[in-house]
Amino acid sequence: MCGIAGYVSPKNYDLSILDGMVKALLHRGPDAQKHLIQKTSSFVGLGHSRLSIHDLSSAGEQPMISSNSRYTLCYNGEIYNFKDIFRRLNKQFNIQWSGNSDTEVLLNSILYFGLKDTLAEIRGMYAFAVLDKKENKLMLARD
């Protein structure tokens, strides 16, 4: 399983803290380690240590930013029905997919269906943080 980390700071950020958090998760995901800081009304840092399962390419790396840059997702787990959600998204919307990871499906589901409907739809084991830059909210969810 992957590892996720993050923090919120109202006044400043220290990238070395987030970097250290992600490095401490190396045992959870040896395939890639990434982090980013985004400025909303606060500084939000999200980090990810990846264990590649569904999409072995870099298209599945996180934190992942939505196509309209509104949402940033940092996710750990597996969405068992992501292929069903993928088909539903493709039927209703014209989405340009970067890869075939359940992460990208989860992010697009949040983008197009909203978080509440996405949580009602997904089946699996998961924990994630999603930053909504438009609403200035950091939302956390777990199964």
pTM of the prediction?
Answer: 0.88
Convert the pLDDT of each residue in 111-142 to its tens digit: 999 999 999 999 999 999 999 999 999 999 99
Task: Calculate mean pLDDT across residues 3-23.
Answer: 84
Strand partners, 133: none
CA torsion through residues 10, 14, 20, 25, sign = positive
Residue 98 pLDDT level (bands cut at 50, 70, 90): very high
The per-residue pLDDT for range 59-84, each reduced to its tens digit, is: 777 799 999 999 999 999 999 999 99
Instruction: Give me Rg for the CA atoms of the chain.
Output: 14
> What pLDDT sits at residue 56?
62
Would residue 2 show up in a list of annotated catalytic residues for this protein?
Answer: yes
Choose the catalytic residue: 2, 22, 111, 129.
2
Neighbouring-strand partners of residue 129: 74, 140
**Pairing state of beta strands 43-50 and 32-39?**
antiparallel
Residue pair 109/130 in contact by the 8 Å Cβ criterion: no
Q: Give 112's DSSP letter.
A: H
